Amino acid sequence: MGILYGISFAIALILALIMTPIVKRFAFVVGAIDKPNYRKVHTRIMPRLGGLAIYIAFVGAVLIALPFIPEGTLRSYDLNMIRAILVGGSIIVIVGGLDDRFELSAKVKLVGQIAAACVVVFGFDVKIDLLNIPFGESMQPVASWLSIPLTILWIVGVTNAINLIDGLDGLAAGVSGIAIATILTMAAIMGFVPVILLCTILLGGVIGFLVYNFHPAKIFMGDSGALFLGFCLATLSMLGFKQVTIVSFVTPLLIIGVPLSDTFFAIIRRWRSKKPIFAPDKGHLHHCLQELGFSHRNTVLIIWGIAALFGGCAIVQSTLIKTHAANWLTFVVICVLTVFLQIGAEMIGIVDKSKRPILDLLFRNRLKAHAESRTK
């Protein structure tokens, strides 16, 4: 299987390298372009629709690889997962491609995302039906009335989270690639063949596209790419709910910690300022880092580093979940990450540039201690 994985990766990589320039020309022909405005960092008209190249590379490599998988390796559930990603991903790419060309409303895109999620759940019976919550001794079954909405919410949420961080050259593709590599590593530890194959192929497509998308970008992935990668990550990360002995409920959250946390802070920020949740702004993580003086390229690399940290924590956490005592360690790690996230958010002003409760508390105590030491 190792040879098949390597060949599949190479096929996806080559297809992405070949298709991206073709898609770039196609985007200009059909008018799928991104014009500069006050929210965007680029200063010239850029072609969108780059996600179509990733999609073609992914689907092409999957269809080429499937006939060569040894008979009996894939179970019926595995085949359903592959079909669900192909069919649901096609719906997502169509919706994203139309948005790249015609700029659909947020409600229309949401309907398309829900439709793709429903295809996964109802069409191929792929859903979250087991959870290993922190401090649980074993996997807990999820009631059917909760399983379906939980799965749809997960898919739609993660799909949008990737789309929200797509604001700099190579940012969304790189963060997605790191998350895919994390899932690939965990799947390799588990020996979960279908996820290894799909992640290997998807990673090849993302890397091939990044050749043209890293700063200075020649093409943007657009909603067709951000939504497709988000959809794939949501579906693939659900393996975390399926593998009974090794992965807990929090693992998928860590895998995509950067886009999810950025989305969470964006919701809080917009709620505090009484703006619609889907209203665009310039308060995302990459905007805040650039305001601090970091260059375009360095901002992307910093966020990649944070994503890699989350990915590493997910891998470590998944290997510690076998014992009850390890669950306590997992809980401590999550608490520490949460505190650091809050401190980091306050430092860069991602929610509110004037209110920083934890930093104020820390510095107030430090100043108080300093004043007391001077009076002695």
Residues that constitute the known binding site for Mg(2+): 163, 223
Residue 145, burial from CB neighbour count under 10 angstroms (0-12, 13-18, 19+):
exposed
Please, which residues bridge with residue 141 across strands? 130
CB 115 within 8 A of CB 232: no
Residues 6+ apart with CB under 8 A from 187: 195, 196, 199, 239
CB 203 within 8 A of CB 6: no
List the structure tokens of 32: 């799928």
218-233 per-residue burial string, b: 16 or more CB within 10 A, e: under 16: ebbbbbbbbbbbbbbb
Helix H or strand E segment including 141: strand 140-141
**CA dist., res. 64 & res. 60, Å (int):** 6
Binding residues: 163, 223
Peptide bond into 216 cis (omega under 30): yes
- DSSP 8-state code for residue 120: I
CB 35 within 8 A of CB 222: no
Q: How far is CA 358 from the centre of its chain?
A: 28
**CA dist., res. 283 & res. 287, Å (int):** 6
Please, which residues bridge with residue 273 across strands? none
Residues 6+ apart with CB under 8 A from 303: 165, 171, 174, 175, 258, 285, 286, 289
AA identity, residue 334:
I
Residue count of the chain, please give it. 376
Helix H or strand E segment including 131: strand 130-131
Residue 280, burial from CB neighbour count under 10 angstroms (0-12, 13-18, 19+):
middle
Q: Which of 111, 113, 142 is nearest to 127 (CA)?
A: 142
CB 93 within 8 A of CB 226: no
